[in-house]
Amino acid sequence: MMARLLLRAWPRDLAVGLAAPCRTLSAGFEPGQYLQRSIVPTMHFQDSLPRLPIPKLEDTMRRYLSAQKPLLDDGQFRKTEELCKNFENGIGKKLHEQLVAQDKQNKHTSYISGPWFDMYLTARNPIVLNFNPFMAFHPDPKSEYNDQLTRATNLTVSALRFLKALRAGLLEPEVFHLNPARSDTATFKRLIRLVPSALSWYGAYLVKAYPLDMSQYFRLFNSTRLPRPRRDELFTDDKARHLLVLRKGHFYVFDVLDQDGKIVSASEIQAHLKYILSDRSLAPEFPLAYLTSEDRDIWAGLRQKLVQGGNEETLRRVDAAVFCLCLDDFPVKDLIHLSHSMLHGDGTNRWFDKSFNLILAEDGTAAVHFEHAWGDGVAVLRFLNEVFKDSTQAPAVTPQSPPARTDSSRAVQKLSFKLDDAVKAGISAAKAKFDATVKTLTIDCIQFQRGGKEFLKGQKVSPDSVAQLAFQMAFLRQYGQTVATYESCSTAAFKHGRTETIRPASVFTKRCSEAFVREPSKHSAAALRQMVAECSEYHNQLTREAAMGQGFDRHLFALRNLAKAKGIALPELYLDPAYKQINHNILSTSTLSSPAVNLGGFAPVVPDGFGIGSQVLWIPWLERRHSCGCRCTETHAALIQEP
């Protein structure tokens, strides 16, 4: 089978991190400094969030076998069933008891948080394509505001307003409102802020409001994934006040917060960005950014050489920057070109290790590309939504605004790096690998002009279930089989919840797909419609279970991780070819709906797979031809890239 990658719009997954206390950057409430001024403190609900449950072992085994059923023949299924019984009654039972005991001793976090961080940080694959996703903004509705300089200034200022609101505790807490008429009101907010943090979640629950975990948010800013041998490190320096700007492979920094923590004037930021855009320097012969696309151990070794060569302080300026703003010098041609540009670019103008890169094309097309180890898509999507709204409704500058009369040549520092022959050779090797890998990636998209989620809801079926069913039918028609499929689901309703897996390939989708693809004439329209309804009902059940932490993937992952940590021989269940097969996710899928997002994407998680994303009425996809082999590990295959 030709290796295929699928790009999707944006997943539902959520991130986990360590909670950080809110810190006020300035005492007053100066106009234009804060994106929001919530009367309910940002982290008000964090302490009282419920803990992520560990599923019962027998439920995990039952769900695992249900997911295996459409993928195996009768003989294979009987073998896997026997292994599950042995595991449940033997070593699996002991590991489960140990996991539960360990979880009771670590009530400050979730049972999956530590292992999930380790999975990301110990992965040695390049993070570009293998891990990092992107989300693209819609254009500014006022076309004249899409000028690159104007929009870059407005998005930067709005991002800083978000930062200030977050650190001052003025950002609205992330809450899912089941009955917004009761809970998303000024009255409720005035009351709930008076409830002690240790009890606040319960007060929200009484009115069907569900606060979400926000522990990852502090890693949004001033953060970088540092390459280290065997296991990377997440670095954050929230005292740094400068912005990192990349253009044509060159690095620039300037302060965007003053000594009192206030955002410098928008006209000054505009002036400094205009100065950078006027730099006519040719691209460097050895663009350092390529190194962030390398194998992590190789990059760790080369970074050490950079440090030894006198670049330690310069690298720290890169690592500590509030975020990375990437100014590209070409316009976006179409959605496919946009996807290539924002997912990987040409390798010279992104610092892939940064918590996020805010990318602006020459025509003002904008996107957020983010590193995945520090967190999942929920925090990034919230950031993107708020920044889009603020930058379009309360822009800091207009197209007619004159830049400040300031000496940008003194305020803006162009960073230079001392490169020895070993580092230069490393950059050249990284470029060759990057270019070869990118050539294996094909992106395409389908835009649906009819139907849509409102129509499907009117037919009393889940839009997501129908999209997943369509993926199953398409693969069956193209390749004649049903394969392992992954859909991410957030478990952000729990403290330090991350994601759980929905397994869309089921006995229901297999039967329905075969009826439509292979023998449609043998079934009446009513019978086919009933099959679709059954698929929808079962998919909704899987989604509910996953959102409540009642899937099987994370539980089995944690048990396997525990066995390894305790030096226990890998249980036979994990050596079963069926286990490897179900974690070789040929279809990696997700969905996204946001008024701010034009599209989003991620690369497939296996060489012969698709990364499929659906967003409202369209589905983008990527295909990677088989050439990367070892780049996609089994560990990463167990996780869906959600942007």
Question: SS3 sequence, 33-54?
Answer: CCCCCCCCCCCCCHHHCCECCC
- Residue 29, pLDDT > 60, answer no
Distances (CA, A) of 288 to 16, 285, 319, 357, 424: 30, 9, 14, 16, 9
Q: Rounded to whole angstroms, how far apart are CA atoms 467 and 478?
A: 17
Report the candidate in 470, 388, 382, 490 with the shortest Cα–Cα distance to residue 11.
490
Of the listed ranges 36-45, 150-159, 384-393, 608-617, the one predicted with least confidence: 608-617
Q: Rounded to whole angstroms, how far apart are CA atoms 551 and 497?
A: 13
- Active-site residues, by number, are 372
Q: List, for residues 95-150, the tens digit of each pLDDT value.
A: 999 999 999 999 999 999 999 999 999 999 999 999 999 999 999 999 999 999 99
E-assigned strand segments in 196-309: 209-211, 223-226, 233-236, 242-247, 250-255
Q: Rounded to whole angstroms, how far apart are CA atoms 259 and 256?
A: 10
Reported CATH class of domain 130-169+217-439: alpha beta
- Residue 75, pLDDT > 70, answer yes
Q: Do 590 and 642 contact (CB within 8 A), yes or no?
A: yes
Confidence of residue 565 (pLDDT cuts 50, 70, 90): very high
Report the candidate in 128, 176, 115, 126 with the shortest Cα–Cα distance to residue 499.
115
Report the candidate in 598, 219, 544 with the shortest Cα–Cα distance to residue 379.
219
Q: Rounded to whole angstroms, how far apart are CA atoms 202 and 215?
A: 19
Distances (CA, A) of 86 to 89, 90, 92, 146, 325: 5, 6, 8, 61, 53
Q: Between 368 and 457, name the one with better pLDDT.
A: 368
Q: Map residue 190 onto helix, strand or coil.
A: helix
Q: What 8-state DSSP symbol labels residue 370?
A: E
Q: What 8-state DSSP symbol labels residue 110?
A: -
Q: List, for residues 531-560, the tens digit of each pLDDT value.
A: 999 999 999 999 999 999 999 999 999 999
pLDDT at 625: 40
Distance of CA 159 to the CA centre of its chain: 18
- Residue 19, pLDDT > 80, answer no
Q: Which residues contact 189 (CB under 8 A, 6 or more apart)?
A: 38, 39, 40
Q: Rounded to whole angstroms, how far apart are CA atoms 361 and 335?
A: 13
Question: Residue 429 corresponds to which tokens in the numbers above?
Answer: 């090797």
At 97, give phi and psi (nearest 5°): -60, -40
- The pLDDT mean for the chain works out to 90
Report the candidate in 305, 278, 302 with the shortest Cα–Cα distance to residue 290.
302
Report the candidate in 642, 539, 604, 643 with the shortest Cα–Cα distance to residue 2.
604
Report the candidate in 395, 338, 407 with the shortest Cα–Cα distance to residue 149.
395
Confidence of residue 377 (pLDDT cuts 50, 70, 90): confident
pLDDT at 162: 98
Q: Rounded to whole angstroms, how far apart are CA atoms 209 and 185?
A: 11
Confidence of residue 89 (pLDDT cuts 50, 70, 90): very high
Q: Do 430 and 294 contact (CB within 8 A), yes or no?
A: yes
pLDDT at 18: 35
**What totals of helices (H) and strands (E) does the chain contain, helices first?**
23, 18
Q: What 8-state DSSP symbol labels residue 553?
A: H
Distances (CA, A) of 130 to 380, 414, 601: 18, 31, 12
Confidence of residue 452 (pLDDT cuts 50, 70, 90): confident
The CATH T-level fold of domain 175-211 is Monooxygenase (1.20.1280)
Beta-bridge mates of residue 324: 244, 357
Q: Rounded to whole angstroms, how far apart are CA atoms 319 and 529?
A: 54
Average pLDDT over residues 241-252: 98
Average pLDDT over residues 263-290: 97
pLDDT at 468: 95
Confidence of residue 615 (pLDDT cuts 50, 70, 90): low
- Residue 7, pLDDT > 80, answer no
Reported CATH class of domain 442-619+628-641: alpha beta
Confidence of residue 622 (pLDDT cuts 50, 70, 90): low
Average pLDDT over residues 41-59: 97
E-assigned strand segments in 310-363: 324-327, 356-360
130-169+217-439 with 175-211: one CATH topology?
no
- Residue 32, pLDDT > 80, answer yes
Q: For 129, left (φ over 0), alpha (ψ -120 to 50), or beta?
A: left
Q: List, for residues 468-493, the tens digit of each pLDDT value.
A: 999 999 999 999 999 999 999 999 99
Per-domain boundaries in the chain: 130-169+217-439, 175-211, 442-619+628-641
Question: Residue 577 corresponds to which tokens in the numbers above?
Answer: 């070819």
Distances (CA, A) of 194 to 19, 186, 212: 21, 13, 19
Owner of token pair 């060759």: 432
User: What dihedral angle (degrees, nearest 10) is formed by the CA atoms of 312, 269, 256, 39?
Assistant: -150
pLDDT at 613: 76
pLDDT at 26: 38
